[in-house]
A and B are shown apart, each in its own frame.
Chain A
Amino acid sequence: MPGKLKAKIVAGRHLPVMDRASDLTDAFVEVKFGNTTFKTDVCPKSLNPQWNSEWFKFEVDDEDLQDEPLQVTVLDHDTYSANDAIGKVYIDIDPLLCSEAASIISGWFPIYDTIHGIRGEINVLVKVELFNDLNRFRQSSCGVKFFCTTSIPRGYRATMVHGFVEELVVNEDPEYQWIDRIRTPRASNEARQRLISLMSGELQRKIGLKVLEMGGNAVVGYLQCFDLEGESGLVVRAIGTACTLEKITSGSAPMCCPLPNTAPASNACNSPSKDGKESPLTHGCRSTHNSPVHSACSSQRLSQNFSVSVPTLIFTGMGSGGSAGKEAGPLKTLLRQQTQTALEQREFPFFTLTSFPPGFLVHVGGVVSARSVKLLDRIHNPDEPETRDAWWEEIRQEIKSHAKALGCHAVVGYSENTSICEEVCILSASGTAAILNPRYMREGCLDFGSTDHRFEEPSPPTCGFCHIPYDELNMPFPAQLAYCYQCRRQKVPDVLFTTIDLPPEAAVTGKGCLIQARLCRLKKKAQGEVNATAISNLLPFMEYELHTQLMNKLKLRSMNALFGLHIQISVGENMLLGLASATGVYLMALPAPGGIQIAGKTPGDLNNEQHISTIQKRINDTIAKNKELYQINPPELTEEGVGSPIPEPRQRSRLFRSHSESSDELSELDLSHGKKDAFVLEIDDTDAVEDIHSLLTDASPPSGFHSCNTETMPGIYNWTTAIQMFTSVRVLRLNNTNLTNQGLNKIFTDLCENLLKSFYFKLRSMIPCCLCQLNFTVAVPEEELVQVSVTAVAMTFDKDQNQEKPLEKSITKGGSETEEQLQFPLELCADSSSTSSQPFSRISGVPENSSVSTRAASVDYGSFADRCSTWLELLRLKAHTIRRGSVKTSRRTQSLAHSVSSLEHCSPLTDVRSRSLRSSRSFGGSSVTTVKMTPLSFLPGTRIIKYLGIINMFFIRETTSLREEGGVSGFLHSFIAEVFAMVRAHVAALGGNAVVSYSMKDCVLMENPNKNQAQCLINVSGDAVMCVRETDQEQMTSMTSTGQTCSSTDGAT
């Protein structure tokens, strides 16, 4: 018995009246875990019962502890008939299994019923006693920490990043079992909720096992999804990045990174000699599989850093159709093996992270994505995960080969998703091909945690990640290369698309903005293979058009790079919806974007030409307006301040500017006209008319507002503390049956635009404010219905942006906590990164003069990584870096010395505690703890002092009285509010006061207004944290500069 779970039921309040006669309730509680059930006494005739029960003790395997939730059911006692259920609470025990997370769960939980929603609250206490369990064949993975956050969590140091972990479990969907026809909707919903809770517990446990095998202790960027396949089953799958995390405590010295047993072993097998035949760039992210896929794909590859897979059709699970001939061999080896070793895990050098420590990311190649259409009713053995595993393996292989074609050995910002309509399922995966620092890969692991202290790490040039990773002479797609506008040594593409966040060291000018491409394509209704073929034929065109739209909109805003790109293609019975969202920025390293030119096919036609010139003028005006709006002032002056550590936006080389001028708008456009490049629009083309239309109808945010879909907004760094997280859902019914593609596009575009306008209006009291992490999800729940769900956070910032201030401060102070915290100066640093191109050296407290040499060295190094295309060169690189390392010893000692002093500086534990006390007082204004929620990984003006565990909740709500509940809107409105309430209650019970990296993964709404019925499923996740108000000026230089950090937090209303 490796664990003892103890639960105590204290009291209830606000219970519903269950006995109409007395207007009271005789409530009692059943506490169930696994197969054991305990009951409290009946508390007669009370709506606020006090049970104050004994401690119910469950002796269970830790495996069960991980899989099972604690199930608390509140019932109304009835002497004569069956007891009526009031509602339930499912409590995930997982946070208690990890010593660093919560130690007790204690608080008021909403009592939830799938038919009636929240019905009162119950106060529960839960504790776990774990016994040491040695020498057992481990099935449990207690203690592995999970984080939804897609960066290294604050307060932690990654001593090792092991790589990609994935898992998938399948079960029959209770909703589709025959028994469902005779049981009540409530029983069915509850069976489903319970099953999914069990499955995600199991999934997490299995992933945990893989992490342990790899030698890690945590999963970062954990992304779990549900596929409601219908008849063929219910799939829960998850991906993440396995890491070894170490808590940064004031006591611990910058440690030697202990290499876990399994990992080095696997890495040893992973030696370059074995993989000699392969490109050494894949070293450390070895593949045993010579992917044949991408040769087929290269023909489909589109321009501008963007490769699209041929959507392969495989009708049966065993790969006997479509392109399977080619893949049959590898596929077999890819089939699921129960004992997947750490070695095999490295097969996919994928990282679900989107933010990295500086220097980790060497080059970024571009977005890689793959999609595949599958038929669910052809799954051979639907109850087993093999088929789905094989599908995903296939997609991942494709992604990997795309990355390879871009000259990259890794994929970062990786994510997967599906869209299901009846029996058709589109699987999608996307990420950003990248080259990671070989130095970090040297030991076969990404030991970037200790680099600050142990290694002499030259800062890479801030423009390094923009440099092309692929061979200039053998480009994977047509692109116009230019010399980097910052270092002038390396080639950069004219445009860069990525799925990751803007690296903190990147130099940008002006502000960023949300850019969306929206597309609707009609398709004939069809069944089975015909349908799948039709969809897969449409997919490449959709991707192409979305890409073209993105490109045009980017140029219209006079920007040259996209971050956080997320493309979703959703399938419905008679249409496909495509939505691409990204944050556009102007990267200083990339050439200035050309304009957009309109060309007519029939020159000479005077009317036409006039029309064209009118449109051209409008476009040019818009570009000019946008430049002003987003404050894009690309550098134009000649003198490059060589000695200056901070390249001021204005201090730019004239030389290179002239280069861009030579290829400036008109001339460049004329040249590319023949190629029908992305930014020449032929007006005779109906698509182009549509494009122009959508280009010019996109409204920019009203003044005082900014928007982005990334963690932070480039160009804004002085956040104040007010935040408002929100979820909005809109469903449109298309009554008009004979709609054209164009008409649909307009409707869809308007839908998205109107949503944004609504947000701006609702949040107007927060001006100046920025909507961050705007996450749009589209779905076609039924024929003629289009659903868009958005979750985002609005954050206020101080309008008076003093560009110099944060920079100055951080240099002079280099505060103790700052260094510790910002070991990976991710978002915090991004706040100030607009002005600073070298936050790395700045933050580690290196005197300014040293950054000059750093710069030079790293430029050198960047070129090196580019050229290294053979193993020999990699060796040479090693030699080189070693040599360089010795040169830079002086700097290392400096930073070491600094870090020691910073440790002394660091506040002792008691200080932290007193601060947290102070904060809990300030949070405890009312009897209910205020719980903040944000989709970002941080809360402005606060410091996360503890991660309390992952929140992963799934709810179903159903109604048979839709009208009485205010129609679908009323129904969903209260359901979303209830979900928020339940998330907050669980966080508060864990002792937390905020949720970071919150996301709503699924919101599946089914309605039948004629029958007065509706059902909705919502899945949410995030990291429960405890944070304290950051009042200390020393600690958060970039934020306190405003002097408003202590201002009231409820200004969000």
Chain B
Amino acid sequence: MAVELDVFVGNTTIMDEEVYQLWLDGYTVNDAVKVRMEGGVLDEIEASADVLLSDTMDQYRTFQMCERLLHSPTKLANQLLFQIPPHRQAMLIERYYTFDDAFVREVLGKKLSKGTKKDLDDISAKTGVTLKSCRRQFDNFKRVFKVVEELKGPLVENIRQHFLLSDKLARDYAAIVFFANNRFETGKKKLQYLNFQDFAFCAGQLINNWTVGAVDNLVEDMDVDLDKEFLQELKELKVLITDKDLLDQHKSLVCTALRGKTKAFNEMEANFKNLSRGLVNIATKLTNTKDVRDFFIDLVEKFIEPCRSDRWTAADVKLYLTHYTNSAHILDTFKHQVVWDRYMGVIKSCIFKMYHD
């Protein structure tokens, strides 16, 4: 005696959020039943394990059928197959596109290609996220990437409109797309201490200030590609380190401003030239795609690590960078104020965000 067929279809599609999460997390039906049983759902109402199994299977089938629609969420609202109240639709979409920070950290900045997909096995083993869930998350990244790649207009807004995501989630996806497009290196050991939210914040800064869209908002790829003209202009900043007078002048201005305001003053003074060279060199090299990829590792190596070894506090860093940026305005011979602000504004907030253990 065996159950050959067992289905339950409601006019309003019945979906249990808990089971949905288990499905998203890639649990098999049997594992999901175990988890639910431990969760005590059977105690709510007198039921047996069979009932739970049958229910879980039904829901899994429903989710599988819905999955196709979730791939283009706008269809979910005007499809006819499933009658789902709008607030449930929003929940389904949001949860489907939600990802694990551990997983995204692994693929951030990598090319979203098939080759990478083969590495999903390793990522799954490393992060403890099930392979099935890894696949979904990876495919979500790829799908969003593919759709917004060809769209004009602001990246976050495009994502929000095409995938009906919340603002927060849309921003995160924008970051992922931005990182994937520019292939920023995030996997190096020195960058391991950074979490996804750190990078997402930085991506937001870069998108808002350094891309084409920051100046002209009707270009293709405007939020995805860095503003080439701006990158060229950055080369002009080189004068800050190549011109000896300017460098000294800059140093004295900063030191004057910092004196007595921090315990790390001595280290700041000692390291000024080094740090300034580091930051300006990063700026001047950004025309090379390769160096763009190393942007974050450069920031860590050239600025964050030296500061950390000198035990600067976060406040110290903030103080230093503020004065470092502002002092440049007082330099008479320095003519590139606008580019400097556009550059340092982003660098400053990125470093603030990244300066932690």
A residues contacting B by CB (< 8 A) are: 13-14, 108, 110, 118, 121, 699, 702, 704, 724-736, 747, 754, 757-764, 785, 787, 925-928, 930-933, 966-970, 972-974, 976-978, 980-981, 984-985, 1005, 1007, 1050, 1052-1053
Answer whether residue B270 sits at the interface, using C-beta atoms and an 8 A cutoff.
Answer: no
Q: Are the CB atoms of A728 and B7 closer together than 8 Å?
A: yes
Q: Are the CB atoms of A731 and B88 closer together than 8 Å?
A: no
9 cross-chain pairs, A with B, having the tightest CB-CB distances, nearest first: A1050-B85, A731-B5, A731-B4, A725-B11, A976-B9, A728-B8, A726-B10, A973-B7, A927-B78
With A761-B55, A969-B61 as given contacts, are A928 and B9 in contact (CB-CB < 8 Å)? no
Q: Are the CB atoms of B5 and A969 closer together than 8 Å?
A: yes
Q: How large is the interface on B (under 10, 10 to 19, 20 to 34, 35 or more residues)?
A: 35 or more
Q: How far is the CB of A586 from chain B (nearest CB, A)?
A: 25
Q: Are the CB atoms of B80 and A118 closer together than 8 Å?
A: yes
Main SS class of interface, A: mixed
From A13, A702, A733, give the contact of B46 (CB < 8 A). A702
Answer whether residue B1 sits at the interface, using C-beta atoms and an 8 A cutoff.
Answer: yes
Which chain A residue lies CB-closest to B64? Answer: A966
Q: Are the CB atoms of A14 and B79 closer together than 8 Å?
A: yes
Which chain B residue lies CB-closest to A704? Answer: B45
Q: Which of B12-20, B101-109, B185-193, B343-351 contacts A (4 or more CB under 8 A)?
A: B12-20
Residue numbers in A under 8 Å from B3 (CB-CB): 730-733
B residues contacting A by CB (< 8 A) are: 1-15, 44-48, 50-52, 54-55, 57-58, 61-62, 64-65, 75, 77-89
Q: How far is the CB of A794 from chain B (nearest CB, A)?
A: 9
Q: Are the CB atoms of A724 and B45 closer together than 8 Å?
A: no
Q: Are the CB atoms of B44 and A973 closer together than 8 Å?
A: no
Residue numbers in A under 8 Å from B6 (CB-CB): 729-731, 969
Q: Are the CB atoms of B45 and A972 closer together than 8 Å?
A: no
Which chain B residue lies CB-closest to A988? Answer: B80
Q: Can you pick out 5 interface pairs between chain A and chain B where the beta carbons lie within 8 Å of each other?
A: A108-B80, A121-B80, A757-B47, A930-B85, A973-B65
**A837→B226 CA distance, assembly (Å):** 81
Residue numbers in B under 8 Å from A984 (CB-CB): 11, 80, 83
Q: How far is the CB of B17 from chain A (nearest CB, A)?
A: 10
With A758-B55, A927-B78, A969-B61 as given contacts, are A764 and B45 in contact (CB-CB < 8 Å)? yes
Residue numbers in A under 8 Å from B86 (CB-CB): 925-926
Q: How far is the CB of A140 from chain B (nearest CB, A)?
A: 32
Q: Are the CB atoms of B14 and A13 closer together than 8 Å?
A: no
Residue numbers in A under 8 Å from B15 (CB-CB): 1053
**A699→B47 CA distance, assembly (Å):** 11
Residue numbers in B under 8 Å from A931 (CB-CB): 11, 83
Residue picked from B10, B14, B45, B80, most chain A C-beta under 10 Å: B80
Q: How far is the CB of B53 from chain A (nearest CB, A)?
A: 10
Q: Are the CB atoms of B5 and A1005 closer together than 8 Å?
A: yes
Q: Are the CB atoms of A732 and B12 closer together than 8 Å?
A: no
**A973→B13 CA distance, assembly (Å):** 12
Residue numbers in B under 8 Å from A699 (CB-CB): 46
Which chain A residue lies CB-closest to B60? Answer: A966
With A726-B9, A927-B78, A976-B9 as given contacts, are A733 and B55 in contact (CB-CB < 8 Å)? no
Residue numbers in A under 8 Å from B55 (CB-CB): 758, 761-762
Q: Are the CB atoms of A702 and B45 closer together than 8 Å?
A: yes
Residue numbers in B under 8 Å from A968 (CB-CB): 4-5
Q: Are the CB atoms of A977 and B9 closer together than 8 Å?
A: yes
Q: Are the CB atoms of B8 and A762 closer together than 8 Å?
A: yes
From A118, A725, A729, A1007, give the contact of B7 (CB < 8 A). A729
Which chain A residue lies CB-closest to B80? Answer: A981
Residue numbers in A under 8 Å from B5 (CB-CB): 729-731, 787, 967-969, 972, 1005
Which chain A residue lies CB-closest to B46? Answer: A702
Q: How far is the CB of A1003 from chain B (nearest CB, A)?
A: 10
**A927→B1 CA distance, assembly (Å):** 46
With A730-B5, A984-B83 as given contacts, are A926 and B11 in contact (CB-CB < 8 Å)? no
With A977-B9, A980-B83, A984-B80 as given contacts, are A754 and B51 in contact (CB-CB < 8 Å)? yes
Residue numbers in B under 8 Å from A764 (CB-CB): 44-45
Which chain B residue lies CB-closest to A14? Answer: B75
Residue numbers in B under 8 Å from A925 (CB-CB): 85-86
Residue numbers in A under 8 Å from B77 (CB-CB): 926-928
Residue numbers in A under 8 Å from B50 (CB-CB): 754
Q: How far is the CB of A323 from chain B (nearest CB, A)?
A: 39
Which chain B residue lies CB-closest to A747? Answer: B1
Q: How far is the CB of A675 from chain B (nearest CB, A)?
A: 38
Residue numbers in A under 8 Å from B89 (CB-CB): 926
Q: Are the CB atoms of A726 and B46 closer together than 8 Å?
A: no
**A554→B57 CA distance, assembly (Å):** 35
With A724-B12, A761-B47 as given contacts, are A733 and B65 in contact (CB-CB < 8 Å)? no
Given A757-B46, A968-B4, 16 additional A-B pairs, CB 8 A = A702-B45, A724-B14, A725-B11, A728-B8, A730-B6, A731-B4, A732-B4, A758-B8, A759-B8, A760-B45, A928-B80, A970-B61, A972-B7, A981-B80, A1005-B5, A1050-B87
With A969-B57, A973-B58 as given contacts, are A1052 and B7 in contact (CB-CB < 8 Å)? no
Q: Are the CB atoms of B14 and A762 closer together than 8 Å?
A: yes
Residue numbers in B under 8 Å from A758 (CB-CB): 8, 51, 54-55
Which chain B residue lies CB-closest to A982? Answer: B80
Q: How far is the CB of A318 from chain B (nearest CB, A)?
A: 41
**A757→B83 CA distance, assembly (Å):** 24
Q: Are the CB atoms of B9 and A734 closer together than 8 Å?
A: no
Which chain A residue lies CB-closest to B59? Answer: A762
Which chain A residue lies CB-closest to B85? Answer: A1050
Q: Are the CB atoms of A726 and B8 closer together than 8 Å?
A: yes
Q: Are the CB atoms of A985 and B80 closer together than 8 Å?
A: yes
Residue numbers in B under 8 Å from A736 (CB-CB): 1
Residue numbers in B under 8 Å from A985 (CB-CB): 80
From A13, A785, A974, give the contact of B4 (CB < 8 A). A785
Q: How far is the CB of B76 from chain A (nearest CB, A)?
A: 9
From A726, A759, A978, give the contact of B11 (CB < 8 A). A726
Residue numbers in B under 8 Å from A972 (CB-CB): 5, 7
**A94→B239 CA distance, assembly (Å):** 84
**A740→B52 CA distance, assembly (Å):** 29
Q: Are the CB atoms of B48 and A757 closer together than 8 Å?
A: yes
Residue numbers in B under 8 Å from A1052 (CB-CB): 10, 12
Q: How far is the CB of B332 from chain A (nearest CB, A)?
A: 61
Residue numbers in B under 8 Å from A760 (CB-CB): 45, 47
Residue numbers in B under 8 Å from A14 (CB-CB): 75, 79
**A925→B79 CA distance, assembly (Å):** 14
Which chain A residue lies CB-closest to B48? Answer: A757
Q: How far is the CB of B29 from chain A (nearest CB, A)?
A: 12
**A562→B50 CA distance, assembly (Å):** 31
**A393→B149 CA distance, assembly (Å):** 71
Q: How far is the CB of A777 from chain B (nearest CB, A)?
A: 14
Q: How far is the CB of B28 from chain A (nearest CB, A)?
A: 15
**A974→B5 CA distance, assembly (Å):** 13
Q: How far is the CB of A859 from chain B (nearest CB, A)?
A: 45
Residue numbers in B under 8 Å from A976 (CB-CB): 7, 9
Residue numbers in A under 8 Å from B84 (CB-CB): 1053
**A930→B48 CA distance, assembly (Å):** 34
Q: How far is the CB of A732 from chain B (nearest CB, A)?
A: 6
**A402→B212 CA distance, assembly (Å):** 88
Residue numbers in B under 8 Å from A1005 (CB-CB): 5
Q: Are the CB atoms of B65 and A928 closer together than 8 Å?
A: no
